[in-house]
Amino acid sequence: MTTIGFIYPDHAAEDDYPLAEQLLGGSEAAEGDIRLPVAHIYGTDLHAVPELLDLGSASRLADGAGLLAKHTPDAVVWACTSGSFVYGWDGARDQADRLATAAGVPASSTSFAFVHAAQALEVKRVAVAASYPDDVARLFVEFLAAGGVEVLSMSSADIDTAAEVGKLSPEAVVDLAVSHDHPDADALLVPDTAMRTLGEITDIEAKLGKPVLTANQVTIWEGLRLTGTTRMVRSLGALFRAGR
Give me the mean pLDDT over the 187-194 stretch.
93
Cβ atoms of 3 and 227 closer than 8 Å: no
Query: What is 145-187 written as a DSSP string?
Result: HHTT-EEEEEEE----BHHHHHT--HHHHHHHHHTT--TT-SE
Give me the mean pLDDT over the 46-63 stretch.
90
Q: Residue 239 — very low, low, confident or very high, per pLDDT cuts 50/70/90?
A: very high
Strands 187-190 and 125-130: parallel
| CATH code (residue 144) | 3.40.50.12500
Cβ atoms of 213 and 188 closer than 8 Å: yes
CA distance 159 to 226: 31
- Model pTM score: 0.93
Position 27 pLDDT exceeds 60? no
pLDDT at position 166 is 63
pLDDT at position 217 is 97
pLDDT at position 74 is 97
Could you give the angle at which helices 110-120 and 134-146 cross, rounded to 10 degrees?
50
Position 163 pLDDT exceeds 70? no
> How many domains does one find in the chain?
1
Spell out the residues 6+ positions from residue 26 whose beta carbon is closer than 8 angstroms to its own. none
CA distance 216 to 9: 12
**Full residue range of the structural domain in which residue 59 is found:** 2-241
pLDDT digits (tens, 9 = 90+) for 132-151: 888 999 999 999 999 999 99
Q: Could you tell me what percent of the chain has a pLDDT over 90? A: 71
Q: Could you tell me what percent of the chain has a pLDDT over 70? A: 92
CA distance 139 to 8: 20
pLDDT at position 28 is 43
Q: Residue 37 — very low, low, confident or very high, per pLDDT cuts 50/70/90?
A: very high
In a 3-state reduction of DSSP, which class is residue 243?
A: coil
Average pLDDT along the chain? 91
pLDDT digits (tens, 9 = 90+) for 86-129: 999 999 999 999 999 999 999 999 999 999 999 999 999 999 99
pLDDT at position 161 is 65
Position 60 pLDDT exceeds 60? yes
CA distance 32 to 83: 32
